[in-house]
Copies of this chain bind each other. A is one copy, B any other.
């Protein structure tokens, strides 16, 4: 273990969170940020390692889906989107090859079977949700829609975005900017402006010795398998997740499944704005909307991601992920190790980023940091009374 300098502050009662963060950084010098709000108030703001400051922006990968789903929830709350209408009602080209009855709810709960295309999507295509959507329109689902679920990691929100575009004439990214990011000046971007590039720090690949790496890759399904397609390995060349977000064009377009760029502060503040309200504003989401999007929709074996998946609607059902949290907790993690969620019952909004992937996509510090935050928040809650 190396000695890593820990920066930032924690509120009274959250000292144990700083201890867990310190222990996590000692175990892995990954360049991380942790920000936590309780009932909207910042109680943890920490960072450490590898060129990272509290202001650093980096790729949050699928934590992006939390931002994208917040847009969906707002539009559903407004009555603009009906989650149970077929996608093809607004996007007729999607109705081919057994996809005519697939709904937004199916897509958001990863039950559509549309997780990629035969022959693969190049990184260039994946960078642009509208290009991806055109390719997906002609594709047959990879399983019978509704009979199983599988994580559509890189493409699900291209479908969602296309429906939003057809209905509203605007992109999911534009709506996020106007209704969520700009009003609260959040450090979380679906489309990083050129002016903020100086704050971007490149994502770094996972470190492993050659034997570890070889063992990992022999355990990974083939590029033409359902998981391979879901993770973009069936294109030529296979998708390189690190290179993807480190490409300026990808960051500029900010595709809504995996190309968000932000900070832990931005992630925590977004969930706080959605659920608890920021700067005196009402929460963006009403209780019924919150509850609807937090309900588990797809659990059990995921044909892409493996056993024990825990999907709510667009979000992950964080109460199933972290059993100490409430049934109402929701959020979304990302493959480089970002984690973000909110627990409306315990008042928590949690944001965590990493610059450096784990080579096997395993992030044990998530469990320990979330548990420490929950314990501290529950204790503060008791004291408040």
Q: Please report A residues at the B interface, Cβ cutoff 8 Å.
A: 97-98, 109, 113, 140-144, 147-148, 221-222, 224-229, 288, 291-292, 295-301, 303, 313, 319-320, 323-328, 345-346, 374
**Residues A323 and B292 in contact, CB atoms below 8 Å apart:** no
Q: CB distance A296 to B222 under 8 Å?
A: no
Complex contact B325–A224 (CB within 8 A)? yes
Contacts of A226 in B (CB 8 A): 296, 319-320, 327
- Taken together as a complex, chains A and B put the C-alpha atoms of A297 and B147 apart, in Å, by 6
Asked if B303 contacts A301 (CB within 8 A), the reply is no
Q: How far is the CA of A140 from the CA of B301 in the complex (A)?
A: 25
> Do A222 and B326 touch (CB < 8 A)?
yes
Q: Would B98 and A221 count as touching, CB distance under 8 A?
A: no
- Known A-B contacts A140-B288, A288-B97, A320-B303; the reply to A225 vs B296 at CB < 8 A is no
CA distance A295 to B97 in the complex (A): 12
* CB proximity of A378 to chain B, nearest CB, Å: 9
Q: Which residues of B contact A225 (CB under 8 A)?
A: 319, 323-327
Chain B residue nearest in CB terms to A221: B323
Residues on B with C-beta less than 8 A from A303 are: 296, 299, 320
Top 4 A-B pairs, shortest CB-CB distance: A224-B326, A221-B323, A143-B296, A222-B324
Q: Is the CB of B288 within 8 A of A323?
A: no
Q: How far is the CA of A319 from the CA of B228 in the complex (A)?
A: 11
Contacts of A320 in B (CB 8 A): 226, 303
Further contacts, 14 of them, CB under 8 A, given A224-B319, A225-B319: A97-B288, A97-B291, A140-B288, A140-B291, A140-B295, A144-B297, A144-B313, A147-B297, A148-B299, A222-B325, A224-B326, A225-B325, A228-B327, A303-B320
Given contacts A295-B113, A299-B148, A300-B301, contact A323 B222 (CB under 8 A): yes
Whether A295 contacts B327 in the complex (CB less than 8 A), given A225-B319, A301-B300, A345-B224, comes out as no
Shortest C-beta distance, A307 to chain B (Å), equals 9
